[in-house]
Structure 1
Amino acid sequence: MRETQAWVLHRGERQREGQTVPGALVEEAFSFADPGPDDVLAEPVYGCWEGNMGHALQRVPVDVCRLRREDKVVLGNAGVVRVVETGSAVTRVRPGDHCLVFCNAEADEHGYPLKVLAYDASRTMGLLARRTLLPQHVLIPIPANSRHSLRQWAAFSLRYITAWSNWRLAWGCFRLQVSESDCPVPFVVGWGGGVSYAQLRLARYAGCRVAMVASQEERLRHLESVGIIPLDRREFPDLNLDPARYASDAAYRQRYAQSEKQFLARVKEAGRGQDVSIFLDHIGGPLLQASLKALGREGVITSAGWKLGADLMDVSRSTECTKRHQHINTHYARFSEAVAAVGFAEEAGWLPPVDGERVYAWDEVPQLAREVEEGRVASYFPLYQVNPEQ
């Protein structure tokens, strides 16, 4: 057995009202097995705080410890590690290599993920540990002599790979229906977030006009600086739709209608009168109606997850068929897509702009978790450091 220092999430206890206690990270010694033939012992360098880590701490939609039938788990499935030791059958990496983490822990017969490393995949551990044990298939070596920083690659590892797979399918689907001669400059809009940001950068490479919704001044300024039209979320504050309240509360219904009208007007203005060709919606239920109203004929609405609503209700199938809307849903990526994304990123410079941003220290990890939950982190890619770069 090996032992390391880690930030650990313990199994929660049920409250009387049927809810689970939100999780707290505890710094303590954590024991794990010796590396097997296909395993790699690694030192995490930088990690990127991801949405699934917040879900695990809030125990929404599940208590991952209970799901995995384990008393405690080490989270963290995005970042960069340095290889320390390799098992006898490891051929992909060598000691001293810097690798990004590819968190597809268990895949289906086509290589797409079923379970995610350091989240719902049992007997896996993540990067919130001074040393961690990883199977070799979740590591992708960073290109030799890369001109990009380890911080950028750490921020890239989950959200950009997710973006690559989702955009590849959404773009291909749109172009199956609408040729370049039909629509030479598609209009792409995304709700704020790291995956949408990465996809809009890809859309720019494809020659699209792009816009993104955000609410923080720093983010709005940055979007404009990189050629993404900023849409200020604060201009339509009551856009989150609650169907039951909409049906029963006239004042709420009026506020929602006004926000939706303002949203659609701002989107139309950003598109210079053009309807949305592809809408990047990683938020979910409360914003679906507005997103679909903004979407043009033969348009694509695409998602790789949800933030506010996993269940989608009251979608008119007849309307969606008549408008030939395509609904794309993906979950992370398969290995070949991740390798392609890394290669494109190295060549084109398609990586997160995180150099110069704050990196949280090891002992600040709980603070980072709180500030992300409270919406007080401006970066789409919040980074923490575990070990020095060396």
Structure 2
Amino acid sequence: MEAVVLHEQGAAGPRLTRIDPPSRSEDGVLVRMLAASVNRVDLYMRDSGAGITHELPLVMGVDGVGEVLEAGPGSAFRSGDRVILYPYDFCGRCRYCLAGDQPLCTRAHIFGEHVDGTFAQVMAVPERALVRLSPDADLHQAATLGVAYLTAWRMVFGKVAIGPGRIVFIQGAGGGVAYAAMQLARMAGARVIVSTSGEEKLAHFRSLGVEAVDYRDSDMVKQVLALTDDEGADLVIDNVGEKTWGASLRIMARGGHLATCGATTGAHPSADIQRLFVRQLSIHGSTMGSLEEFRRLVRAFETGAFVPPIDSVYPLAEVPAAFARLEEADRMGKIVISIAEPQGAA
């Protein structure tokens, strides 16, 4: 079979490679992959992977959808079932798994980081890491849910009670996780304000009815505070890191919350401790979400509560080009890898 394998770090590292198909373990399911999506962590694995325990060569890709090829006799799945991958292979036995918080599992392995991932024609997946997907679901849209939307779901719903009457401010809303958070916060009925750059992106968000400010403006913080009658936002979502951290803290309402899941511009900002304790602010770290949160996310998607925007679609052989597109400033929406057509498709 064919897969995109990371052979060494660097731009030339990911290559379409012919490898042996995987074998199904006793508790596993063989899945014929149909689509996957590209995430920032794929670029991190390509360029460094520092701090993530892994060995090369490694099949890349964290999230995706497929259909069952083969399952064990006691499995809940049958050949042909449409499935979506929960990105974690969790142990199910540690205190965190038993409490239903799988992202904190002490033995977790993430596809495309610690073990072979989704940019492959066939995967062997533990049954516990599969969720049934409606056969009517759009495959390209569903392929975007596992990382960006699951991470956004926990940031929006898992840390603070967000709903009508709440104000959510989102930094860099053109990115995958931030855009997903915007959609989910609006789905919950919150008032959403975003930062982005460029007239085209500003116009895009405003056309959706979302208040948008340009983060390149020196008075961006004042603009946001003016929009909120100087109160600020109940929840600030920031996956940018050091570059936006100070502004994010100043935008928070008294008693407000900041949820962070990334540090692409640096990991060591000023803590501004006096502001934290005087205003009684809370900072929450967040990474992906639990299996139950994932199930709820998938069901919300299947009801049409939100529609993931697709920027572009690339075949499996052109994953390096998809990585290059992810790094372009004018990208809007998720980048999808089309791997195969469903069986029976015209």
TM-score tier, shorter chain, comes to: 0.7 to 0.9
Alignment of 1:300-379 (within 5 A): 300-309=257-266, 311-354=267-310, 357-373=311-327, 375-376=328-329, 378-379=331-332
In structure 2, C-alpha distance between the alignment counterparts of 1:287 and 1:307, rounded to whole Å: 10
Equivalent residue, structure 1, for 2:6? 9
Residue 12 of structure 2 corresponds to residue 26 of structure 1: no
Q: Return closer, same or farther for 1:26/1:206 CA change in 2, 3 Å cut-off.
A: closer
Alignment TM-score, normalising by the size of structure 2: 0.87
Pair 1:377–1:41, CA change in 2 (3 A):
farther
- Which range is displaced more, 200-209 or 48-57? 200-209
Percent of aligned pairs with the same amino acid: 22
Matches within 5 A, 1:196-215: 196-215=178-197
Aligned to 1:226: 208
Pair 363,33 (structure 1): closer, same or farther in 2 beyond 3 Å: closer
Instruction: Name the SS for the 1:203 alignment partner.
Output: helix
Q: Partners of 1:56 and 1:306 in 2: how far apart? A: 15
Match in the other structure for 2:70:
85
Q: Match for residue 248 of structure 1?
A: none
Structure 1 portions without partners, runs of 5+: 13-20, 237-258
For 1:367, give the aligned amino acid. Answer: A
Q: What does 1:129-148 correspond to in 2, within 5 Å? A: 129-143=120-134, 146=136, 148=137
The higher radius of gyration belongs to 1
Stretches of 4+ aligned residues off by more than 4 angstroms: none
Superposition pairs of residues 156-195 of structure 1, within 5 angstroms: 156-172=145-161, 185-191=165-171, 192=173, 193-195=175-177
CA distance change for structure 1 residues 29 and 139 in 2, over 3 Å: closer, same or farther? same
1:112-131 superposed matches below 5 A = 112-113=102-103, 114=105, 115-121=108-114, 124-131=115-122
Name the CA shift for 1:371/1:199 in 2 (closer, same or farther; >3 Å).
Answer: closer
Following superposition, the deviation at residue 280 of structure 1 comes to 0.4
- How many Å apart are 1:270 and its aligned residue? 3.7
Letter in 1 for 2:67: R
SS at match of 2:301: helix
User: Are residue 95 (structure 1) and residue 79 (structure 2) matched?
Assistant: yes
Would the aligned equivalents of 1:40 and 1:133 in 2 still touch at CA under 8 Å? yes
Structure 1 residues 267 and 218: alpha-carbon distance in aligned structure 2, compared to 1, 3 A threshold: same
Note if contact 2:4-2:15 (Cα within 8 Å) is conserved in structure 1: yes
Offset, 1:298:
0.7
Q: CA deviation at 1:297?
A: 0.5
Distance 2:214 2:341 in 1: 38
Q: Over residues 287-317 of structure 1, what are the superposed CA-to-partner deviations in whole Å (9 max), with x where a residue is unaligned?
A: 11111011120111111233222x3343133
Q: Structure 2: which 5+ runs fail to align?
A: none
Q: Which amino acid aligns with 1:136?
A: E
> Deviation string for 1:127-178 (max 9, x for gaps)?
21122221112211113x54x4111111223211121122122323xx7xxx
Q: Partners in 1 of 2:12 and 2:130 — Cα distance?
A: 28
User: How far apart, in 2, do the equivalents of 1:266 and 1:285 lie?
Assistant: 21
Pairs aligned (count): 332
Q: What value does the CA root-mean-square deviation take over the aligned residues?
A: 2.3
CA distance in 1, matches of 2:138, 2:212: 27
1:177-206 per-residue CA deviation (whole Å, 9 max, x = no partner) reads xxx9xxx62221101222222222222233
Instruction: Say if 1:136 and 1:23 are closer, same or farther in 2 by CA, change over 3 A.
Output: farther
